[in-house]
Amino acid sequence: MMTSGFHFMAISLAGILARASRCRRQNPVSSKPWRSTGAVIASASSLAIVFISLLGVPLSRAADAESTQPGFAVLVFSKTTGFRHDSIPQGVAAIKALGAEHGFAVDSTEDAARFTDVGLAPYRVVVFLSTTGDILDDGQKAAFERYIRAGGGFAGIHSASDTEYQWAWYGRLVGAYFASHPEVQQGSIQIEDRAHPSMSDLPAVWQRTDEWYNFRSNPRSTVHVLATLDERSYSGGKMGADHPIAWCRAFDGGRSWYTAMGHTPESYAEPLFRLHLLGGIESAASVAGGCVR
Ligand SMILES: [Zn+2]
C-alpha cells in the first residue's frame, strides 16, 4: 500500500522531471516515453510503476536536450561468413527498439548489395553488428569508404573486429582486430571517458558478463579509448594492464565507434548495455557528443 506521503513525493518527482526536461532519452527499463507520464498518472497503481521507474534513472538524464526531429536513419548490417552469433536477432531488435524510443529510423540487412553510393546515402550511421569474415566485395568496400569520407558514421559491435582482416582501411576504421577470447564470464570495466554519450550512463566500474575479446594490437595510439577491462577481474585476458574494450575516433572524414561487448543474447536486454549502444550510435551519427579524437 502506498501512503499519501509517498503519493505526494511521487507526484512531485514526476512533476519536477516533466518540467525540467522534455527528455529525448527515456527510461531504459520502461518503453513509456517521459512525455506520456502525465497520461499515465491515472491511478495509484500506475503511479507506483512510474515512480519506481523514475527512481532507476539518474537525474542528470533530465538535463539532456530535447530533439523533436525524427533525426536520422541507421542501417544495421549483420552479414557473416565466419562464426555466426546467435545474439544477432536480439541485437537487431534492440537497436530497432532504441530507434523507436529515441527518434531514429533503423533498417537491417545482411545483403551486401546495399553497399552502393545510392544504397548508403540515406543513412547517418552504418552499424556492423557481430559481422564476421569477408563480407563485402571490392566495389562494396569502395562505396563504404566513400560513404565514410563523405562524413558517414560507423558503429561496430563485438565481432565487427573479427571481420575483413585483409581490408586495411577497415582495420583502421574499427581500430583493432580480434585475436582470441576466454569463455563467457563476468568482468569489470573501468570507464575512462565518462563524458562520452556511450559511457555517461554507466557506473565508474561496470560489472557485467560477456565474452571478453583480446585484440591483435592495442588501439590506444590511434583511437580515443572510452573504457578498459580490468584483467584482474576475470581469467583469460592477454592485453595486460591496458586493455581497451570500447573506443571511438574520427577517421577519414567520418566517425567511428566500437564496442567489443555484445556476444550474448542477454546483453541486448541489459538496460545499461542498451544505453551504451544508444550513445555509441548517436555519437556516430553526430547528434550526441562526439569523439575527442
Ligand atoms: Zn562472440
Q: CATH 3.40.50.880 in the chain: give the residue spans.
A: 73-284
| Fold (CATH) for 73-284 | Rossmann fold (3.40.50)
Predicted TM-score (pTM) of this structure: 0.78
Lowest mean pLDDT among 39-43, 174-178, 259-263: 39-43
- Torsions phi, psi for 97 (to 5 deg): -65, -40
pLDDT, one tens digit per residue, over 115-129 is: 999 999 999 999 999
Q: How far is the CA of 17 from the centre of ligand 1 (A)?
A: 39
pLDDT the model gives residue 24 = 41
**Is 119 within 8 Å of 144 (Cβ atoms)?**
no
How far, in Å, is the centroid of ligand 1 from the Cα of 85? Answer: 6
| Cβ within 8 Å of residue 184, ≥6 positions away | 209, 210, 211, 263, 264
Distance 148 CA to ligand 1 centre (A): 26
Beta strands, E only, the chain? 73-77, 105-109, 125-129, 153-157, 178-180, 185-191, 205-210, 214-215, 224-230, 244-251, 254-259
pLDDT value, residue 4: 42
Q: Determine the distance separating the centroid of ligand 1 and the alpha carbon of 144, expressed in angstroms.
A: 24
What nine digits make up the cell of 56? 532507476
pLDDT tens, 27-76?
Answer: 333 333 333 333 333 444 444 444 444 444 443 333 344 445 568 999 99
| pLDDT recorded at residue 105 | 96
| Pairwise pLDDT comparison (27 vs 160), residue with the higher score | 160
- pLDDT at 15 exceeding the cut of 80: no
290: pLDDT confidence band, cut at 50, 70 and 90?
confident
**Per-residue pLDDT averaged across 272-283, rounded?**
98
DSSP secondary structure string, 179-198? EE---SEEEEEEES-TTSTT
Please give the distance, rounded to the nearest whole angstrom, from the Cα atom of residue 116 to the centre of ligand 1.
28
Q: Residue 87 C-alpha to ligand 1 middle, in angstroms?
A: 9
Measured in Å, residue 158 CA sits from the centre of ligand 1 at 7
Taking only Cα atoms into account, the Rg of the chain, rounded to an integer number of angstroms, comes to 20
